[in-house]
A and B are shown apart, each in its own frame.
Chain A
């Protein structure tokens, strides 16, 4: 289910003194099975953009197409529900959307809203609680007894149970400890590779972007500033500094070594490949 975005603009509080253009004629396309990172400073329009993908916000001008569904500006959008089923949007701190008595009911809530029978919804809950790495014994617990990290997994299971083709995560690792964050990223990789979901990740964490994503879109003041592969994006730290992004440690190491006269490949983005370059230099 590819996404096509054509000259999409969004203006908040149009025609008032608070008018603010959050997105300015954005055009891009996202293919099936991509694992895409959306980055940019606070206020760059990332959140506004992702909220268009499941029609929580509608374009002020321009249009976007998801599968064969076109959403245009100034057109009363109907049947948004079917779109919301296709594009699962996980907000920042999703643990705050839990509300049911039991985890089973909470995960089944989404599918039921989209017309799935109770029985089937319960089966989906049982399936997805395991996908997010928790066991079946959780289903009868109250979500409010769980730890912060577990709550977040449960909330994500609630979105996965809707079986969307596209998953959007807004800063999913914020506030987690390093182990929790890593497990979360591994889960997304699995969803992408094993379940063939398109993943759109809004993130500030460059280590995650570098290690898990294929493509990077940089938003700046409502415009696309850069749209390229992860490899190209992390080739040089200069670009990152220009964008006011703190480069991942590996780039800092490469820079420090180059300053000492070492030859390190631009493409070397893993410790393994950088170490191989060092080895070559040291042994020669």
Chain B
């Protein structure tokens, strides 16, 4: 079942040039979907359209079967959480506990029940020891984990990651990537990740390639990412394994295209 259904969606920032030019795609329930495209291709605009921070000019967006419009905007936001790029600018509370509480307060949760919820979700993202910490004493990765806890506390069905790891150091990137994968595998959340990391796309279930506000390709990574000519034309990276395959072919070795290192090693072993 499609958890997110976007049809012919058009959006413009200035009414002159459309930033999103009639986009259609589906995100299946429980899937890990990635959107790739270079900066300025319209990726982040789509994220903001999906949670109603921006209003589409035409077309339709359906979340969980509900048409996104002004009346049910708030009901839809209950279903979707979003983690943005800059860890500092989405930390609202004075401390970790306050920040996790922010969404609960908005949903008028009884304050006497909040502590229990906060502790549960802080634990889920391994931030239990930091509840009283102020954001200045946390690393970028820790702040992003707090943002995720705040979202999980709202019990969403979908989480959008809008380049959530691009400002983190390798340690933070690793932590967040592992957490995203876990939320998908264990909690069966629908994940939509907007990313530059081609290797993340390789690991996902479904890839959507954007360019100039349009969907260029969409499908399983092993189908989409194999189209290397198109990928290079779109100024995108191609998976490392595919680069290695190209080099081997150049040196006269016949080998099947593949996008994972494991797949590549398997193919090479078959040659021996």
Contact = CB atoms under 8 A, between A and B. Distances in A.
A83 to B, nearest CB: 29
Interface stretch (B92-100, B167-175, B215-223): B167-175
A contact patch SS: helix
Given A175-B167, A244-B171, A275-B244, A253 B265 contact: yes
Interface stretch (B64-72, B116-124, B235-243): B235-243
Contacts of A281: 272
A260 B171 contact: no
A281 B241 CA distance: 19
Contacts of B45: none
Contacts of B192: none
Interface in B135-185: 139-140, 166-167, 169-171, 174
Given A253-B265, A281-B272, A179 B247 contact: no
Nearest to B86: A175
Interface in B245-271: 247-248, 250-253, 261-262, 264-265, 268-269, 271
Nearest to A175: B166
B268 A41 contact: no
B38 A256 contact: no
22 contacts: A41-B171, A175-B167, A177-B39, A177-B196, A178-B38, A179-B38, A179-B237, A180-B38, A204-B169, A245-B170, A246-B170, A249-B199, A252-B261, A253-B261, A253-B265, A256-B261, A260-B265, A271-B244, A278-B253, A279-B251, A282-B253, A282-B272
Nearest to B39: A177
A149 interface: yes
The contact size tier of chain A is 20 to 34
Nearest to A244: B171
Interface of B: 38-40, 85, 139-140, 166-167, 169-171, 174, 196, 198-199, 235-237, 240-241, 243-244, 247-248, 250-253, 261-262, 264-265, 268-269, 271-272
A42 interface: yes
Contacts of A262: 268
Interface string A146-170: 0111000000000000000000000
